[in-house]
Structure 1
Amino acid sequence: MRKTVVIGFLGTVLDKGGYGEARWQKWRPTVGICRQPQLPVDRLHLLHDNHSLNLAKLTAADIASVSPQTEVVLSPCNLRDPWDFEEVYSTLHDYAAAYPFDSENEDYLLHITTGTHVAQICWFLLAESRHIPARLLQSAIGHRDSHYAGTVKVIDLDLSRYDQIAQRFARQRDDTLALLKSGIATRNPAFNRMIGEIERVATRSTAPMLLCGPTGAGKSFLARRLYELKKARHQLAGRFVEVNCATLRGDSAMSALFGHVKGAFTGALNARDGLLKSADGGLLFLDEIGELGADEQAMLLKAIEEKRFFPFGGDREVTSSFQLVCGTVRDLRQWVAEGRFREDLYARINLWSFDLPGLVERPEDIAPNLEFELLRHARESGERVRFAREAREDYLAFACSPDAQWRGNFRELSASVTRMATLAEGGNIGQHEVAEEIGRLRRNWALAAGERPSLLAGLLPQAAELDLFERVQLEAVVTVCRESASLSEAGRKLFAVSRQARSQANDADRLRKYLARFGLDWSAVKGS
């Protein structure tokens, strides 16, 4: 059995009951907690100042008379101002640091009924932060208590022990994670773990964050969600300010970021605050931070570390305190090695670094993102659009296949869904719209890679499933068809040799049957 040890202040008002027998007709919290049969106290550490020494000795003697097994340790604790938070917390923190806690053999309780409100708050903070491995002990006068022992209640700050509170906090955290993911039920385990870590960092730290990842991976989107989260938690009061550093060059970069004074350069007719000042009290998102020039990098480092900087052309510093989030597609470590990015700035913004995966790395998240994009289109256009079942299956089969390159990541997926939703007839995306979109994506990726787009792109979505022999032959046939005025003319060109050995050529019929093998007809080939 572990011993029960109570630590608490002597109540200079509540514990004072006089020196006569009448004191036993009054509830005194410190004496009362030692008269609880269900909670026997083995040792009581009673903190008091020198002015209350006699009251402390009397209280110890009364405890000895009602609870002989309780050892009372009088601990002098002299405070100049018991209402000064800094002094009280520092004193109790030092007391806790010097106390020989033995949690294996002793169970500790902090009596929070006595002492000033400041002392009670400090006890709570020290217990909650585990500087003191204790639970809280609250005492009160009991109803119809003829012995004036009062009642006690033990409060455990381990919230996991309280089901309803734990469930409420779990729901709140789930809501927070959903906010950061924009309500998309992502299925990628690595991404979900990363979002959970970002949530913890965002709510507990004000240090800069670095979001790395390819274009369209959602860095800007996530930065805005971080701002909304911190503002909802009352951790930010200012604006969300976003700037793409790739658009900043020369004097305009200095002016845009740090502001300028009147006359700083030709055309500076009026002073300007700049984006860093505009973000005071809020969140500043510097996308493509690797594109900043050397001078801007040096000034930004000073602004981050000292929260003050000189406007361009000015000799008087201005101040601005903001949460900084940076984004980059570059390998900044390599750029530091090449001397293209300041090592000290990189170290300052790289305390919390997160690599956002591209869409190709998260194929399981394409399906939930489809629904998200359709809902967004509905909000923006006022029209609800849905996939036909077969069309959705066709699109997902392609989107999750190795052929889908998704160079623009989620931004490109969003554009793809928007195109299909816009072209859909009657609010229904069918297989025709999906086939056209797949062809469009194939052509775009081929052009981006400097390749000759396949003639079958947009005409035959399943062309990649054909053998190379059949694809090459079919492309040749399609080329001839597009260069011919009619089905018969195309047939004569394609069967120019073999038709001579036939009594009836039937070139058009032969070509029609060949195209039908692939689900094609003349109008589709000519019109695509």
Structure 2
Amino acid sequence: MKKKKVVIGFIGTQLDSGRGSGRWEKWRPTVALTQHEDIFIDRIDLLHSGQHAPLLAQLEKDIADTSPETKLRSHQLDIQDPWDFEDVYGCLFDFARSYPFDTDKEEYWVHITTGTHVAQICLFLMTEANYLPGKLLQTAPPRRQTKANFGEMTIIDLDLSRYDQIAQRFSREQEEGVAFLKSGIATRNARFNTMIDEIERVAIKSKAAILLMGPTGAGKSFLARRIFELKKARHRLEGRFVEVNCATLRGDGAGSTLFGHIKGSFTGAMSDRPGLLRTAHKGLLFLDEIGELGLDEQAMLLKAVEEKRFFPVGGDHEVQSDFQLVAGTNRDLSREVAAGRFREDLFARINLWTYELPGLAERTEDIAPNTDYLLTQFSAEHGQMVRFNKEAKAHFLDFATSAEAIWSGNFRDLSASVTRMATLADAGRINDDIVNGELKRLQKLWSHGQTSDIRHDDIDLIDYLATEQITQLDLFDAMQLKSVLGICKNARSLSDAGRKLFAASRSGKANPNDADRLKKYLHKFGLNWDVLNRSV
């Protein structure tokens, strides 16, 4: 069944007016709707404020002459001031709530040519929000003076997905934002790509706190700055990027640094200090290693995030600051909450958008493009092109993507490694000798870290096993299990722990599955990864 066409619009107190026979020589938008031979309008719902009864009567008569089958219905709205946005929008909202829309039988066109500019804007907003479930109708006078004065009609569907060019522009804009967050470095890591895609959407649309988790050197600080720059470019922020590592804050200085202080509030407070939260007003505040904050500072931060106001140290009057918070941590904050070292209410407040950045060992497919990127950066900064020899590059990447390369410092390790090799490159060429020397440095660096990793004197099996189980363990098995649990305690995931535990033996397997091997070992003792994550 063909739907009826219904036009909803305001009476045009100027455009629709006209007297005598001369009015038919004039383009009148509402009457012109019924003058198109190829378009039949079944009904016109004409909105007015009740002050133009003679014009309304004239329009009703003229529409009956031009299109007798078109029905005209008038709706008086209680608009006191047609130029007051709140007044007009409120009246239109009431009209839309009470109107008997029947989208199965009727197609609605919202006419935005007549009425005040305020009325036209309100009609647009109501249609965009689907309170008026239709399409926009824009009419215009004829381009040339002819006997036919009905002009032109244009239908605008606000479903942007129907407009290929607009949709393509939005798609390109998002792709540019994602590339910007990744610094333009190509990545083939599915998890990282999915995460960055979502962060791009959240950064543009949301002002809520973002929590970036991941090991040291995974790029939390860098990503936080890119989020700020992306929001700044899209006019979502006006202020500055302010960064502080909470691990460097101690004692009274922690509160003063973050929240400011009043002159004389403590020894050494020789003048007022605004604090970093106020410095970040209308900007982005990145609190790296937020898990290192003391409980008092956590309570003050919670108030600042929730209420946008707080007391400076020693102050009796609250100050205000509206900032976007991005927090970073290499700790498992849920465990810190369970241990009483992190406030549960603050964790809940910053845990709305949480992203765990994968370490470099979990993104081995991205080591090559990141190496190229770092070399390009070095070359630009030092004014000299630096490149690998073909054999040297293959040698370095073979090692860098193998189980031997644990990348405990993640991208910081890779950046330092590339910088060392580029600095030693004579005539801008990194050869095999330079790569061999660098690999020895990395192995020595990581061997110290691995030695410290397997010292787990703080592991108490009573936290994981029943007393009866422990008494049945040989000393050898107990010591081995404690070492495994220590690795698991400091690992980011089951796969991460598996890589550390089976780094040597996995190289001899065609399809190593470290996580499965570890899972089976833990199962012998009735343990699993979820239980370990809940243990403190």
TM-score w.r.t. the length of structure 2 is 0.81
Q: Deviations over 1:175-219 (max 9, x none)?
A: 211111111111212211211111111111111111111111111
Matches within 5 A, 1:341-352: 341-352=342-353
Q: Distance in 1 between matches of 2:42 and 2:506?
A: 80
2:523 is aligned to none
In structure 2, the CA distance between the partners of 1:451 and 1:305, relative to structure 1 (3 Å rule), is closer
Contact 2:379 2:386 in 1 (8 A): yes
Give 1:123 deviation, angstroms.
Answer: 1.9
The SS at the match of 1:80 is coil
Matches within 5 A, 1:277-288: 277-288=278-289
The SS at the match of 2:40 is coil
1:507 is aligned to none
In structure 2, the CA distance between the partners of 1:105 and 1:214, relative to structure 1 (3 Å rule), is farther
1:497 is aligned to none
The SS at the match of 1:262 is coil
User: Which piece of structure 1 moves more, 216-225 or 423-432?
Assistant: 423-432
User: Which piece of structure 1 moves more, 35-44 or 365-374?
Assistant: 35-44
Give 1:466 deviation, angstroms.
Answer: 9.9
Q: Deviations over 1:143-194 (max 9, x none)?
A: 2232321211112223333333333332222221111111111121221121
1:89 is aligned to 89
Q: Deviations over 1:37-74 (max 9, x none)?
A: 33322222111111123322332332222122322221
In structure 2, the CA distance between the partners of 1:337 and 1:43, relative to structure 1 (3 Å rule), is farther
2:514 is aligned to none
**Letter aligned with residue 406 of structure 2:** Q
The SS at the match of 1:108 is strand
Give 1:224 deviation, angstroms.
Answer: 0.5
Q: Is 2:13 the counterpart of 1:12?
A: yes
1:180 is aligned to 181
Q: Is 2:402 the counterpart of 1:401?
A: yes
Q: Distance in 1 between matches of 2:101 and 2:396?
A: 64
**Letter aligned with residue 193 of structure 2:** N
Give 1:406 deviation, angstroms.
Answer: 1.0
In structure 2, the CA distance between the partners of 1:295 and 1:101, relative to structure 1 (3 Å rule), is same
Seq. identity, %: 59
**Letter aligned with residue 263 of structure 1:** G
Matches within 5 A, 1:402-421: 402-421=403-422
Q: Deviations over 1:76-115 (max 9, x none)?
A: 1121122222222232233333334333433221111011
Give 1:367 deviation, angstroms.
Answer: 1.5
2:80 is aligned to 80
**Letter aligned with residue 284 of structure 1:** L
Q: Deviations over 1:407-466 (max 9, x none)?
A: 1112211111111111112111122222222222122111111179xxxxxxxxxx9999
Q: Distance in 2 between matches of 1:126 and 1:433?
A: 67
2:28 is aligned to 28
Q: Distance in 2 between matches of 1:170 and 1:396?
A: 34
The SS at the match of 1:243 is strand
Give 1:396 deviation, angstroms.
Answer: 1.6
**Letter aligned with residue 432 of structure 2:** Q
Q: Deviations over 1:5-46 (max 9, x none)?
A: 21111111111113x333222211011122223332222211
2:121 is aligned to 121
In structure 2, the CA distance between the partners of 1:192 and 1:146, relative to structure 1 (3 Å rule), is same
Matches within 5 A, 1:59-458: 59-142=59-142, 143-450=144-451
**Letter aligned with residue 138 of structure 2:** Q
Q: Deviations over 1:119-161 (max 9, x none)?
A: 2112222223333332211111102232321211112223333
Q: Distance in 2 between matches of 1:145 and 1:373?
A: 68
Q: Flag structure 2 segments of 5+ consecutive residues without an equivalent.
A: 454-503, 509-536
The SS at the match of 1:75 is strand
Q: Distance in 1 between matches of 2:348 and 2:123?
A: 37
Contact 2:245 2:287 in 1 (8 A): yes
**Letter aligned with residue 284 of structure 2:** L
TM-score w.r.t. the length of structure 1 is 0.82
Q: Distance in 2 between matches of 1:236 and 1:76?
A: 43
2:57 is aligned to 57
Contact 2:311 2:317 in 1 (8 A): yes
**Letter aligned with residue 402 of structure 2:** S
Q: Distance in 1 between matches of 2:130 and 2:409?
A: 48
**Letter aligned with residue 64 of structure 1:** A
Q: Distance in 2 between matches of 1:39 and 1:255?
A: 71
The SS at the match of 1:450 is helix
Root mean square deviation of aligned Cα: 2.0
Q: Distance in 2 between matches of 1:63 and 1:392?
A: 80
The SS at the match of 1:411 is helix
2:464 is aligned to none
In structure 2, the CA distance between the partners of 1:101 and 1:339, relative to structure 1 (3 Å rule), is farther
Q: Deviations over 1:258-310 (max 9, x none)?
A: 00111111111111110001111111111111111111111111111211111
**Letter aligned with residue 120 of structure 1:** Q
The SS at the match of 1:227 is helix
Q: Flag structure 1 segments of 5+ consecutive residues without an equivalent.
A: 453-462, 468-528
Contact 2:209 2:326 in 1 (8 A): yes
Contact 2:139 2:151 in 1 (8 A): yes
**Letter aligned with residue 7 of structure 1:** I
In structure 2, the CA distance between the partners of 1:22 and 1:228, relative to structure 1 (3 Å rule), is same
Give 1:388 deviation, angstroms.
Answer: 1.5
1:455 is aligned to none
